[in-house]
Amino acid sequence: MEGSSQYRDVVLVAGASGRTGKWVVSRLRHYGVPVRALVRSRERAGDFGEGVEIAVGSLQDRRSLEKAAGGCGAVICAVGSSALFGDSSPSEVDRDGVIRLADAAAAAGVRHFGLVSSLAVTRWYHPLNLFGGVLSMKFAAEEHLRALFSRDGRSYTIVRPGGLKEGEPLRHRLVVGQGDHMWSGWTCRSDVAELLVLSLWNPKARNRTFEVVSLKEEEEPQESLAYCYDGLS
Ligand SMILES: NC(=O)c1ccc[n+]([C@@H]2O[C@H](COP(=O)([O-])OP(=O)(O)OC[C@H]3O[C@@H](n4cnc5c(N)ncnc54)[C@H](OP(=O)(O)O)[C@@H]3O)[C@@H](O)[C@H]2O)c1
């Protein structure tokens, strides 16, 4: 364990086999937080490293989601659609799947829900919406999450990144915004993961929705990304 945190509850990572999800698992392990990885296929998911529990389930199967979320303190959701139709479509994954997962998590007693969303989710006219209305689907899920996890002792954090890139975390200075006014920009998947992991114990992250992009291409090593949560309303 390289880092350390006071957070000791199990965290369910949905989309753990995906590119951002893998970073979420890695950053949770970095801080010594117990992880349960939700995957559709144990074989396809590969190896998450020592101590990571695996839960097999899919966003279409509510019972598998409730079972996976049982005993977890938080969920970090990094699922994403990849096909126009079927179980991996925007309506099935980014809207209905995330809503089903949030409902199952609340029913199972989960207290915090972190979600990877996207820049421009409030803009129905954005060209990305040509892919199955993906941005509008994400916004519908966001709205559901905000309503459900801002009450009864629960909390949420919604991160809206720009175009996702690979790369190590904490290598770039980040800029945050609120109200979906940013038009473009990119964000490292690893930094998105880091922000959602920090949201587990940073009180300033509770019930916040924000956009985040990297300030510039050049690297500028960061000790922490906690500053992103200062000043959010
Ligand atoms: N690409 C960008 O530039 C960009 C920009 C902003 C926001 N985003 C959003 O950021 C998020 C993460 O993106 P990414 O590129 O890291 O994702 P990714 O690598 O495509 O991973 C997607 C994950 O979702 C899981 N998934 C899909 N359908 C599922 C279902 N029906 N049940 C359970 N799991 C399901 C996949 O599982 P399997 O391995 O089983 O398929 C995979 O683990 C997505 O929501 C994406 O829309 C992307």
Distance 20 CA to ligand 1 centre (A): 8
Summary mean pLDDT of the chain: 96
Tell me the pLDDT tens digit for each residue of 36-66: 999 999 998 889 999 999 999 999 999 999 9
pLDDT class of 183 with cuts at 50, 70, 90 = confident
Distance 70 CA to ligand 1 centre (A): 23
Q: Is a pLDDT exceeding 50 seen at residue 1? A: no
Question: Is the distance from the beta carbon of residue 73 to the nearest atom of ligand 1 less than 6 Å?
Answer: no
- Comparing CA positions, the residue from 149, 137, 146, 78 lying closest to residue 108 is 149
- The tokens for 100 are 């089903």
Q: Is a pLDDT exceeding 90 seen at residue 196? A: yes
Please compute Rg for the chain using Cα positions.
Answer: 16
Fold of 10-229: Rossmann fold (3.40.50)
Question: Is the distance from the beta carbon of residue 57 to the nearest atom of ligand 1 less than 6 Å?
Answer: no
Q: Is a pLDDT exceeding 80 seen at residue 148? A: yes
Pocket test for ligand 1, best of 38, 77, 164 (most atoms within 8 A of CB): 164
Pocket test for ligand 1, best of 79, 89, 92, 134 (most atoms within 8 A of CB): 79
pLDDT at position 136 is 98
Q: Which atom of ligand 1 is nearest to the CA of 192?
A: 10
- The tokens for 67 are 């079972």
Question: Which distant-in-sequence residues (6+ apart) come within 8 Å of 191 by Cβ?
Answer: 169, 170, 172, 174, 212, 214, 225
In the chain, what are the domain boundaries? 10-229
Q: Is a pLDDT exceeding 80 seen at residue 19? A: yes
Query: What percentage of the chain has pLDDT greater than the value 90?
Result: 94
Distance 16 CA to ligand 1 centre (A): 9
Distance 232 CA to ligand 1 centre (A): 26
Q: Averaged over 73-77, what is the pLDDT?
A: 99
pLDDT at position 2 is 54
| DSSP count for the chain of H helices, then E strands | 6, 10
Q: Is a pLDDT exceeding 60 seen at residue 33? A: yes
Q: Is a pLDDT exceeding 80 seen at residue 4? A: no
* Residue 150 DSSP code: T
- Comparing CA positions, the residue from 165, 159, 84 lying closest to residue 121 is 159
Question: Is the distance from the beta carbon of residue 140 to the nearest atom of ligand 1 less than 6 Å?
Answer: no
Nearest CA to ligand 1 atom 40: 40
pLDDT at position 5 is 76
pTM tops 0.75, yes or no: yes
Q: Averaged over 199-228, what is the pLDDT?
A: 97
Question: Is the distance from the beta carbon of residue 82 to the nearest atom of ligand 1 less than 6 Å?
Answer: yes
- The tokens for 39 are 């995957």
- The tokens for 167 are 């790369």
* Residue 17 DSSP code: T
Question: Which distant-in-sequence residues (6+ apart) come within 8 Å of 185 by Cβ?
Answer: 119, 162, 163, 175, 213, 214
pLDDT at position 46 is 84
- Say if residues 225 and 188 touch (Cβ distance below 8 Å): no
CA distances from 90 to 52, 86, 133, 134, 212 (A): 28, 9, 7, 5, 22
Q: Is a pLDDT exceeding 80 seen at residue 135? A: yes
Q: Averaged over 152-173, what is the pLDDT?
A: 98
Q: Is a pLDDT exceeding 80 seen at residue 228? A: yes
